[in-house]
Amino acid sequence: MDPQKAWEIENAVKLVDPTRDALYKYDSMEQKKITSDRPWRADVHHFKHVRISAVALIKMVMHARSGGEIEIMGLMLGYVEHETFIVTDALRLPVEGTETRVNAQSEADEYMVKYLERSRQAGQLENAVGWYHSHPGYGCWLSGIDVATQSTQQTFSDPFLAVVIDPHRTISAGKVEIGAFRTFPEGYKPEDFGSSAEGMAAVPMAKAADFGAHANRYYSLEVSHYKSTLDNKLLEALWNKYWVQTLASSPLFTNREYVTKQIEDLAAKTHVLQGNISSRSSLPPMGPSSRRKGGDEQMAKLVKAAEKIASEEKMGLMAAMVKEKVFAAGAPQVDAAAHAVAANGGDTQMADAKAA
């Protein structure tokens, strides 16, 4: 067999659909042009979307999960296109975060530079377009330190993007909890205050002050992901391999600790709200609803958080119920059939298979 054929280059070409997989292309000339034009300078809201490749997403989620309670950090490779960041790959950085914050160190910088150099030599020409880190258990938003880090990056190596992943909530909700953010320049006042705060009903008590203090310093981008036609086929084949886990997992059991924590947090918040309201009601009724409004908002957040917990729990229960109906409902018959097998040796195999 001749060497070219053995390496199967032609076959590789057949696996790719140039139009549908267009995001995998990279035009370094165009990127240079964009980088020199800097269209994001004119509009602080220039970037609105992020598209993350299948590989990058999986790498980031796995990395976040591997950290456990510790925050981890890494970089994203990719490029920009119009108002969209295209993330093609992700790499881990050797940074040890504490439980609540993570900050790049010079050691990590050195690693990063070397890594990118090696990547380029191997044909991955993309630049770093952002950094990602994890918030284990407290949702996707930027803390004060994160805002400072991101702000520096946007000043010196724009276009740059911050991505936050919450591995704990990813596991408990069964879907990837991810947020992408860019900070506003120093001194910029967003019109719609709290736009980045949407969906942030469940920031834990301990973090709420930090969250509130910086919530108007950044905005979030819409995150979506993409995959190639080849990925698609592979994933189809893979699904056949891992469907077992869909049935076997029992979220109620695995998430118990997390749910308990969530409930604890909610109870504490409820308590605080109760305190606020009772202290206020002891005052004579005065002024229109200005003070009232804060309480309503808090209450709405509590409702939201409570409903979230309830719906996650409900999902877990349904998983357990489905399993019970499928596997345990017929248990007596299976039992009987199995005893028949034991009694008669292999003769009843066919009948038994039917019963099962």
Partner 1 sequence: MAAKDEMPNPLLITGKAPDASLAVQLHPLVLLTISDYITRHTLRSQEGPIVGAVIGQQDGRHFTLEHAFQCRLAEQRGDVVLDSEWFTDRLEQYREVHKAPALDLVALFALGPVDGPQKVHLPVLKQVQHLTGNDGILLLLFHGELMDKLQGGKLPISLYESVRSEQEGGELRFREMSFEVETGEAEMIAVDTVAKGGSTAVAVQKADTTTTTAAASPEGSRTAKGKGKGKTRDKQEEEGELNTLSPEDDELIASLTAKSNAIKMLNDRINLIRSYLETVPSSQLTDASSTTPPSETTNHPVLRSINALLSRIPLLSPPVASIPTQPTTSDSNGHGTVHIQPPTSQPTINTKEALDVHLTSLLAALTRSVAEASAMGSKFHVVSRERENKARNDNFGGGGGGGNGGFPGGRGAGMMVGSFGDGEWSTLDASEQEL
Q: Which of residues 115-134 bind partner 1 (CB under 8 A)?
A: 115, 118, 121-125
Least distance in angstroms from the C-beta of 126 to partner 1: 10
Q: Tell me which residues in 148-167 interact with partner 1 (CB under 8 A).
A: 167
Tell me the closest approach of the beta carbon of residue 138 to partner 1, in angstroms. 17
**Could you tell me the CA-to-CA distances from 200 to 139, 248, 305 in Å, in that order?**
7, 31, 9
Query: Rounded distance, CA 106 to CA 135, Å?
Result: 22
Q: Is residue 191 involved in binding partner 1 (CB under 8 A)?
A: no
C-alpha–C-alpha distance, residues 205 and 104, integer Å: 26
Identity of residue 133? H
By CB under 8 A, tell whether 266 contacts partner 1: yes
Alpha-carbon distances of 339 from 260, 347, 353, 356, rounded to whole Å: 42, 12, 13, 13
Among residues 1 and 42, whose Cβ is nearest to partner 1? 1
Site stretch for partner 1 (CB under 8 A), options 154-162, 181-189, 190-198, 205-213: 190-198
Beta-carbon count within 10 A of 351 CB: 13
Q: Does 8 bind partner 1 (CB under 8 A)?
A: yes
Nearer to partner 1, 33 or 291 (CB): 291
Query: How many whole angstroms separate alpha carbon 235 and alpha carbon 298?
Result: 42
Q: Which is nearer to partner 1, 78 or 159 (CB)?
A: 78
Least distance in Å: CB of 283 to partner 1? 10
DSSP E strands, the chain: 49-53, 73-81, 84-92, 127-134, 161-165, 178-183, 218-226
Binding status of residue 85 toward partner 1 by CB under 8 A? no
320 binds partner 1 (CB under 8 A): yes
Regarding 110 and contact with partner 1 (CB under 8 A), the answer is no
Length of the chain: 356
338 forms part of the interface with partner 1 (CB under 8 A): yes
Minimum CB distance to partner 1 smaller for 38 or for 351: 351
Strand partners of residue 258: none
Of 94, 99, 157, 209, the one binding partner 1 (CB under 8 A) is 94
Number of chain positions touching partner 1 (CB under 8 A): 159
Indicate if the alpha-carbon torsion angle 319, 67, 177, 308 is positive or negative.
Answer: positive
> What is the DSSP track for 22-76?
GGG---HHHHHHHHHH-GGGT-TT---EEEEEHHHHHHHHHHHHHTTTS--EEEE
Nearest to partner 1 of 25, 41 (CB atom): 25
Amino acid at 38: R
Q: Closest CB to partner 1 among 33 and 325?
A: 325
Token pair, residue 48, equals 């609105």
The answer to whether 189 contacts partner 1 (rule: CB under 8 A) is no
Residue closer to partner 1 by CB (options 148, 320) is: 320
Nearer to partner 1, 100 or 298 (CB): 298
**Minimum CB distance to partner 1 smaller for 148 or for 230:** 230
Binding to partner 1 by residue 222, rule CB under 8 A?
yes
Q: Which of 137, 130, 202, 200 is nearest to 159 (CA)?
A: 130
Q: What's the DSSP call for residue 92?
A: E
Region binding partner 1 by CB under 8 A among candidate stretches 35-43, 98-106, 155-163, 238-246: 238-246
Query: Which of these segments, 36-44, 54-62, 79-87, 142-150, binds partner 1 (CB under 8 A)?
Result: 54-62
